[in-house]
Chain A
Amino acid sequence: MIDILNALAALANYVFVPAISYGSQLALGALGITLIYGILRFSNFAHGDTMAFGTMVVILTTWWFQGMGISIAPLPTALLALPVGIVVTLVLLLGTDRAVFRFYRRTKAAPIVFVMASLGIMFIYNGLVRFIIGPNEQRFSDGARFIIKAREFKAATGLNEGLSIKLSQGITVITAVIVVVVLFWFLNRTRTGKSMRAFSDNEDLALLSGINPERVVTISWVLVAILATIAGTLYGLDKSYKPFTYFQLLLPMFAAAIVGGLGNPVGAIAGGFVISFSEVAVTYAWKKVLVYLLPEQWAPDGLVQLMSTDYKFAVSFSILVIVLLFRPTGIFKGQSV
């Protein structure tokens, strides 16, 4: 019995907790991608760099606050800086939309042209972020570090295996839940949200019923700015901030959005967790858990790690391909150009 509890503690510590917080971050990122796909109908390659930009503004604001001695300890100061990050990111996104995308909307350009333009914007944001904050790793988390420490958990339960939950992981999950609840309330209950969904489902019909397309687009960018900045900041608090890492997040986030069905918000969240759980599960060394569960003579010699952690991108990609082969529009039905 105690063995099973130990196994569960190890499993929670090394698989569930990290996968849930990483999954929430991916889900928020994937929601941004899926919204743009649903409303503007293109894959936004600049999304990873939008996150990097938003997080950068949050970091700079955090440093400024820290310099002035403002803090909300034990919570990280970055949470206080979030609104500034969102507003600045929104200004950037709306400026980009006015300067680039609006022209192609007016000329009814093919989706591929939008994607190409988003590649150009990706380069610009990429340069902008490196120009301002540089390509190096930045740390900006402060406040308390743990909610539960491994040692305290062991003392309290008497188990061999510790369970630790970082504050950043707790904040990630709580924030993600709040953001998702508010987002779905907005999309399903408010007039504006309903008009957005109508626009996404059938553009012509929505236009006929008097929905202003420019307004819908503007509100989508507002949502994207909020989602991207929060997702980026949470990821940065939990792990660390490095512009190139955010660019690389593009792949798992797209995988999450596609696995769930592009253009489908519920799918993006489900996809985020599918990707994060499989990444963590496939790259975790299962020996520790198996030692508790199996009889002694069966105990494995190796680490029972299916793949080394360096292959975590391969995991998100393989899931992507498998899902696309068997369910071409994702688990939940998505759109396709």
Chain B
Amino acid sequence: MNYRNIALFAVVFALLVLVGFVQSWSVALQLLNLCLISAVMALGVNIQWGYAGLFSVGTMGFIALGGVATVITSMPPVRAAWAAGGAGVIAAFVIAIVTIAGAVQVWKRMKPGKARSLTMIAILVVGFFLYRSIFDPAVQAIESINAASEGYLGGLGLPILFSWVVGGLLAAGVAWVIGKISLGLRSDYLAIATLGIAEIIIYVIKNEDWLTRGVKNVNGIPRPVPYEVQLQAEPWFASWAHFLGLDVVEASSLYVKLAYAALFTVVLVVILWMSEKALKSPWGRMMRAIRDNEEAAEAMGKDVTRRHLQVFILGSAVLGIAGAMMTSLDGLLTPGTYNPLRFTFLIWVMVVVGGSGNNWGAVLGGFLIWFLWVEVEPIGKVTLAFLTSWMADDSGLKQHLMNSAAYMRLLTMGVILLLVLRFSPKGLIPEK
């Protein structure tokens, strides 16, 4: 860390403090929380892209899986739904796994030729219809249980903090399957394949109501911090707020946000510390060697495919953790809001702008880009109001411009990315 980098971080924190003074401390803390989460996400992408040069744009899918993990870990189980269709769903999945394993075994064991292809297709077709015949009634049974508020299996009722770990594991598990299939693909092909996988993950979450309630959303996910109303009722908190000269309601909101910020900071510091250790270890040097010249690394006896799979899983796990953190901050899972611009490409902008290959750069990018993503809108409104101040208030053009200020953020992100690519292609904090 040299003085320049410290100055860059100082600028970002000064900006956050400025928001605290100009807008409100509540807004500033909310911004800080999402900055912290974005930094974790950027670290995840940096592991995949910065360390190993994997052009994977499936970021959104793993973040969403983290969100699913909070539901299946910490929501209370819906016992009636389990009784109605739990066994059916489990049986269907056993059939699905057996079918796929059978098909893979046929493919591996039998001699290549028509017989092999036909047997494999037959196994898959029979398995698929068997699976559907058990799965469909089970799902219908589950979704008909108290459909307005439940209609899904619920979770395991475990503490929410535990779900952050589960989020990482779930994302890692799915990444293993995806990596096995798609990591053989090169550059652009991998990008398109992962882009598609992310869409599919979102579609599954949106449509498999028995698991996640789909677009009906899951709300009331338990929180790792106390609720504002509870705090306001506590006598010690009221006197504490009074001592600080704050309104009790406002103080409780700040307290909750600060508590979240503390938890997120711990996660960020741990992941950052581990990433730095990994990057500076022989393993990290090997990864960079593979990234810079695959053939040479392979000639040196490194198993490139295996390493790629490993780094893909690690990065995805970090994204899953960040996704779980985000959903537990919101307290609800809304599958309809996952959008690749916000959850894939924006994270990529963070990494490229911050400096791919450098963990500190990714963290800085996460903070800076998230700050701009949120703050460009109010800044844009003020600027447009100033630029159009000479127009009449009822002018159609002025109203249109003011209403469109929200889309300034997309334009700004594009311009920032292009400027950084052109004038500082290694990012704000370049790799050493």
Chain A positions near chain B (C-beta within 8 angstroms): 37, 42-43, 100, 103, 111-113, 115-117, 119-128, 130-132, 134-135, 244, 247-248, 250-251, 254-255, 258, 262, 302, 308, 310-311, 313-314, 316-317, 320-321, 324-325, 328, 336-337
Q: Which of A43, A126, A251, A324 contacts B341 (CB 8 A)?
A: A126
Residues of B within 8 A of A325 (CB): 181, 184
Among listed B7-15, B23-31, B197-205, interface-contacting one = B197-205
B345 on interface, CB distance cutoff 8 Å:
yes
Q: Are B188 and A255 in contact (CB under 8 A)?
A: no
Expressed in whole angstroms, the Cα–Cα distance for A100 and B418 within the complex equals 8
Task: Among B352, B418, B425, find the residue whose CB has the most chain A CB atoms closer than 10 A.
Answer: B418
Considering the complex, which residues of chain B in the window 314-341 have a beta carbon less than 8 Å from any beta carbon of chain A? 339-341
Residues of B within 8 A of A244 (CB): 339
B191 on interface, CB distance cutoff 8 Å:
yes
Extra contacts, 14 of them, besides A122-B345, A317-B193 (Cβ < 8 A), are: A43-B192, A100-B418, A115-B191, A120-B414, A122-B414, A124-B414, A126-B410, A126-B414, A131-B404, A247-B341, A251-B192, A311-B207, A317-B200, A320-B193
Q: Which of B181, B189, B203, B407 contacts A311 (CB 8 A)?
A: B203
Expressed in whole angstroms, the Cα–Cα distance for A284 and B181 within the complex equals 27
B237 on interface, CB distance cutoff 8 Å:
no
Expressed in whole angstroms, the Cα–Cα distance for A113 and B422 within the complex equals 10
Q: How many A-B residue pairs have CB under 8 A?
A: 132
Q: Which of A43, A117, A131, A324 contacts B411 (CB 8 A)?
A: A131
With A112-B187, A313-B199: A120-B421 Cβ-Cβ less than 8 Å: yes
Q: Are A317 and B418 in contact (CB under 8 A)?
A: no
Residues of B within 8 A of A127 (CB): 407-414
Q: Which of B188, B199, B348 contacts A337 (CB 8 A)?
A: B188
With A313-B203, A320-B192: A131-B418 Cβ-Cβ less than 8 Å: no
Consensus secondary structure, chain B interface: helix
Expressed in whole angstroms, the Cα–Cα distance for A247 and B345 within the complex equals 12
B265 on interface, CB distance cutoff 8 Å:
no
Q: Are B193 and A324 in contact (CB under 8 A)?
A: yes
Residues of A within 8 A of B348 (CB): 116, 119
Considering the complex, which residues of chain B in the window 175-222 have a beta carbon less than 8 Å from any beta carbon of chain A? 181-182, 184-189, 191-193, 195-197, 199-200, 203, 206-207
B55 on interface, CB distance cutoff 8 Å:
yes
B256 on interface, CB distance cutoff 8 Å:
no
With A124-B411, A124-B414, A130-B410: A43-B188 Cβ-Cβ less than 8 Å: yes
Give the contact-size bracket for chain B. 35 or more
Expressed in whole angstroms, the Cα–Cα distance for A251 and B352 within the complex equals 23
With A121-B414, A123-B341, A251-B196: A336-B408 Cβ-Cβ less than 8 Å: no
* Nearest 4 A/B pairs, CB to CB: A127-B410, A123-B414, A317-B196, A124-B414
The smallest C-beta distance from B392 to any residue of chain A, in angstroms, reads 21
Q: Are A320 and B207 in contact (CB under 8 A)?
A: no
Residues of B within 8 A of A124 (CB): 410-411, 414-415, 418
Q: Are A262 and B188 in contact (CB under 8 A)?
A: yes
B417 on interface, CB distance cutoff 8 Å:
yes
Q: Which of A42, A43, A131, A134 contacts B408 (CB 8 A)?
A: A131
Q: Are B417 and A120 in contact (CB under 8 A)?
A: yes
Residues of B within 8 A of A120 (CB): 349, 413-415, 417-418, 421
With A123-B410, A124-B411, A127-B409: A115-B188 Cβ-Cβ less than 8 Å: yes
Q: Are A111 and B196 in contact (CB under 8 A)?
A: no
Q: Are A320 and B196 in contact (CB under 8 A)?
A: yes
Task: Among A123, A317, A324, find the residue whose CB has the most chain B CB atoms closer than 10 A.
Answer: A123
What are 8 A-B interface contacts by the 8 Å CB criterion? Answer: A116-B417, A120-B418, A122-B414, A127-B408, A313-B203, A321-B182, A321-B193, A336-B189
The smallest C-beta distance from A76 to any residue of chain B, in angstroms, reads 26
Consensus secondary structure, chain A interface: helix
Residues of A within 8 A of B412 (CB): 127
The smallest C-beta distance from B124 to any residue of chain A, in angstroms, reads 12
Expressed in whole angstroms, the Cα–Cα distance for A134 and B404 within the complex equals 7
Q: Which of B195, B197, B199, B418 contacts A117 (CB 8 A)?
A: B418
Residue of B nearest to A129 (CB): B407
Expressed in whole angstroms, the Cα–Cα distance for A111 and B418 within the complex equals 15
The smallest C-beta distance from A242 to any residue of chain B, in angstroms, reads 13
Considering the complex, which residues of chain B in the window 381-424 have a beta carbon less than 8 Å from any beta carbon of chain A? 403-404, 407-415, 417-418, 421-422
Q: Which of B186, B197, B403 contacts A336 (CB 8 A)?
A: B186
Residues of A within 8 A of B425 (CB): 113
Q: Are A317 and B407 in contact (CB under 8 A)?
A: no
Residues of A within 8 A of B197 (CB): 317
Residue of B nearest to A329 (CB): B189
Expressed in whole angstroms, the Cα–Cα distance for A143 and B381 within the complex equals 40
The smallest C-beta distance from A335 to any residue of chain B, in angstroms, reads 10
Q: Are A103 and B414 in contact (CB under 8 A)?
A: no
Residues of A within 8 A of B407 (CB): 127, 130-131, 135
Residues of A within 8 A of B207 (CB): 308, 310-311
Residue of B nearest to A311 (CB): B203
Residues of B within 8 A of A250 (CB): 195
Q: Are A103 and B411 in contact (CB under 8 A)?
A: no
The smallest C-beta distance from B379 to any residue of chain A, in angstroms, reads 15
Expressed in whole angstroms, the Cα–Cα distance for A316 and B195 within the complex equals 12
Task: Among B186, B345, B407, B412, find the residue whose CB has the most chain A CB atoms closer than 10 A.
Answer: B407
Residue of A nearest to B207 (CB): A310
Task: Among B192, B339, B404, find the residue whose CB has the most chain A CB atoms closer than 10 A.
Answer: B192
Expressed in whole angstroms, the Cα–Cα distance for A325 and B189 within the complex equals 11
Considering the complex, which residues of chain B in the window 152-184 have a beta carbon less than 8 Å from any beta carbon of chain A? 181-182, 184
Residues of A within 8 A of B341 (CB): 123, 126, 247
Expressed in whole angstroms, the Cα–Cα distance for A244 and B425 within the complex equals 29
Residues of B within 8 A of A247 (CB): 340-341
Q: Are B421 and A123 in contact (CB under 8 A)?
A: no
Residue of B nearest to A313 (CB): B199
The smallest C-beta distance from B181 to any residue of chain A, in angstroms, reads 6
